Amino acid sequence: MTTRFETEQKSGLLQRILTALPYVVLTISIVPIIIGFVWIIVATFSYRTQGILPINAQGKIGGLTLQNWTFLLDAKIWRVTFNSAMIALGMVVGVGFLSSLTGYALSRMNFRGRKTFLGMTLVLHAFRPELLLIAIFQVLLFIAGIPIAGKAFGFNTVGGVAIVMVSLELPLGIWLMKGFFDNISWDMERAALIDGASRFRVWWEIILPQIKPGIAALAIFNFISGWNAYLIPYTFTIGTKVSNLSVFLNQFSSDTSPMGWNQVAAVGLFQLIPILIFFIFTQEALLNIYGGGTKGGA
């Protein structure tokens, strides 16, 4: 009996080690990343750092400062931050709304030119924005000539930048959304139609909730790309009134060069905060995947 007990215990121990092993490996591998983050945060509040410890002029530990964050006192920074937020949210809403409607139509409805549209969408995505800059410029100039709309979406407006960014991101968004819709069973949609829902209501109440994780992923993706946008705002805006954060900070750092590492870290951290906040808000939807409504069957 004792021998059997021992072997059981041994295998129990082995079992425990095997369970713990992945956690140990993951913890060890994440440590450098965490150290990196801690270093950045510490650095933004110090003159200099040694390792992850802040040091003062005498080389002693200490010497914390808010000096790296003084760029926040500049009123212009808040203006461009607001612009960045508008571009980012514009992309989240614009791409999210348009591609979830278009993706649904492409996935569920049969209409003339559907195949061509799908093919063209893919081709469009292959064009790099750099190639299109001059054409986009012409379009923005044209829009600027239209009364009222020109003020909001023409050349050298935040709206114009947002529209261009949305258009460039739409092909991918549409393809992604179409893929998500393709995976939803037809029966569920038919059931809702028979239950008495209109097509639009089916889309909104039945189908969209199923693809929340996909929508959240697309939203984060668009938020990041809108928030960090550089090329388009840099090309199509003049001056800080309509500029965005990336462009402004880039100019800011070249104006005040040489810029210390610690200040770069502060700027970088500042730019990261909204993305983290946005992620926190969307992560529940992102990770919320239903266990499937049905057992077997198609």
* Residue numbers at the binding site for another protein (CB under 8 A): 185, 187-188, 190-198, 201, 206, 209-210, 290-298
Closer CB to another protein, 238 or 298, in the complex: 298
Closer CB to another protein, 185 or 271, in the complex: 185
Minimum CB separation from another protein for residue 201, in Å? 7
Q: Which helix (H) or strand (E) holds 49?
A: strand 48-50
Minimum CB separation from another protein for residue 74, in Å? 46
Minimum CB separation from another protein for residue 121, in Å? 25
Closest CA to 95 of 214, 183, 209: 214
State the number of CA atoms in the 13 A half-sphere of 238 facing the CB.
3
Q: Which helix (H) or strand (E) holds 54?
A: strand 53-55
Q: Phi first, then psi: what are they for 65, rounded to 5°?
A: -150, 155
Minimum CB separation from another protein for residue 181, in Å? 15
- The residues, any chain, with a CB within 8 Å of residue 75's CB and separated by 6 or more, are none
β-strand partners of 145:
none
Closer CB to another protein, 9 or 198, in the complex: 198
Minimum CB separation from another protein for residue 204, in Å? 12
Closer CB to another protein, 196 or 239, in the complex: 196
Joined tokens for residue 45: 């509040």
Closer CB to another protein, 187 or 284, in the complex: 187
